[in-house]
Structure 1
Amino acid sequence: MSSLSNCKCLCLSLTSFGLLIGAEPLPADDWHARVQAGIAHLPRYSGSDERVSAPLLGVQITSPYGLFLDSDKGLGWAFDEDDFGLSLYVGASDGRKDRKSQFHGSDALNGMGSIQSRPVFGLEATYPLGEAILGATFEHALKKDDDPDTGSAYNHLKLSISAPLYKGAYGELLGSLNSQFGDGNYVRTWYGVSAKQASHSQFRAHDTHAGLVSRGADLSWSLPINEQWSVSTVLALQYLNGDAADSPLVERRWQTAATGQVVYTF
Structure 2
Amino acid sequence: MRSKNLCLSFTSLCLLAAADTAIAEDWQYSLKAGVANAPRYSGSDERMTAPLLGGKIVSPWGIFLDTDKGLGWGYEGNALSFSAYVGASSARKDKNESLHAGSKRLKGMGEIKSRPQLGVSAAYNLGGVIVGATLEHALKEDDHKDTGKAYTHLELSLGTHLYEGRYGSVYASLSSHFGDRDYLQTWYGVTTGQAARSRFKEYKAGAGNISNGMNLVWSMPISEHTQFSTLLDVQYLADEAGKSPIVERRLQTSVMGVLEYTF
Q: Does the pair score TM above 0.5?
A: yes
Q: Tell me the residue number matched to 2:81.
A: 85
In the aligned structure 1, how far is the partner of 2:98 from the partner of 2:171? 32
1:152 corresponding residue in structure 2: 149
Q: Distance in 1 between matches of 2:26 and 2:260?
A: 19
The answer (yes or no) to whether the contact 1:146–1:152 under 8 Å persists in 2 is no
Q: Note the aligned Cα RMSD (angstroms).
A: 1.1
Q: Distance in 2 between matches of 1:188 and 1:239?
A: 18
1:69 and 2:65 matched: yes
Question: Counterpart in 1 of 2:113?
Answer: 116
1:149 positional shift: 1.9
Q: 1:38 aligns with which of 16, 34, 42?
A: 34
Residue ranges of structure 1 left out of the alignment (5+ in a row): 1-26
Deviation at 1:60, TM superposition (A): 1.2
Decide whether the 8 Å contact of 2:177 with 2:211 is kept in 1: yes
Q: Quote the Cα distance in structure 2 between the aligned partners of 1:194 and 1:101.
A: 24
Partner of residue 56, structure 2: 60
Provide the TM-score with structure 1 as the length reference. Answer: 0.88
Q: TM-score, normalised by structure 2?
A: 0.89
Residue of structure 1 aligned with 2:173, choices 160, 171, 176: 176
Once residues 79 and 229 of structure 2 are traced to their aligned partners in structure 1, the CA distance between those partners, rounded to angstroms, is 26
- Residue 97 of structure 1 corresponds to 93
2:103 matched to 1:106? yes
Shift of 1:146: 5.7
What's the offset of the Cα at 1:100?
A: 1.1
User: Does the 8 A contact of 1:29 with 1:65 survive in 2?
Assistant: no
**Which residue in 2 is equivalent to 1:224?**
221
Q: Which runs of 5+ in 2 are unaligned?
A: 1-22
**Offset, 1:33:** 1.1
Verify: 1:133 aligned to 2:130, yes or no. Answer: yes
Matched-pair identity in %: 53
User: How far apart are 1:216 and its partner, in Å?
Assistant: 1.1
1:9-66 CA-to-partner distances (Å, cap 9, x unmatched) read xxxxxxxxxxxxxxxxxx8332111111010000010000110010000101111110
Which runs of 4 or more aligned residues in structure 1 lie more than 3 Å from their structure 2 counterparts after TM superposition?
none
After superposition, the C-alpha distances for 1:207-250 in whole angstroms (9 at most, x for unaligned) are: 11100000010000000011011111000100000210000110
What per-residue deviation string (whole Å, max 9, x for no partner) do you get for residues 146-165 of structure 1?
Answer: 64420000000000011100
Q: Secondary structure at the match of 1:125?
A: strand
SS in structure 1 of the partner of residue 61 of structure 2: helix
Q: Answer yes or no: is 1:51 the counterpart of 2:51.
A: no
Give, in angstroms, the shift of residue 175 of structure 1: 0.2
In structure 2, distance between residues paired with 1:214 and 1:168: 32
Counterpart residue type for residue 166 of structure 1: Y
Task: Say whether residues 1:260 and 2:257 are aligned partners.
Answer: yes
Match of 2:202 among 187, 190, 205: 205
State the one-letter code of the partner of 2:90.
D
Structure-2 separation of matches of 1:133 and 1:227 = 26
Q: Which has the larger radius of gyration?
A: 2
User: Where does residue 249 of structure 1 map in the other structure?
Assistant: 246
Distance 1:148 1:129 in 2: 44
Aligned partners of 1:29 and 1:180: how far apart in 2? 36
The number of aligned residues is: 240
Q: Secondary structure at the match of 2:187?
A: helix
Q: Matched residues in 2 for 1:163 and 1:106: separation?
A: 35
User: Greater CA deviation, 201-210 or 142-151?
Assistant: 142-151
- 8 Å CA contact 1:67–1:76 kept in 2: the answer is yes
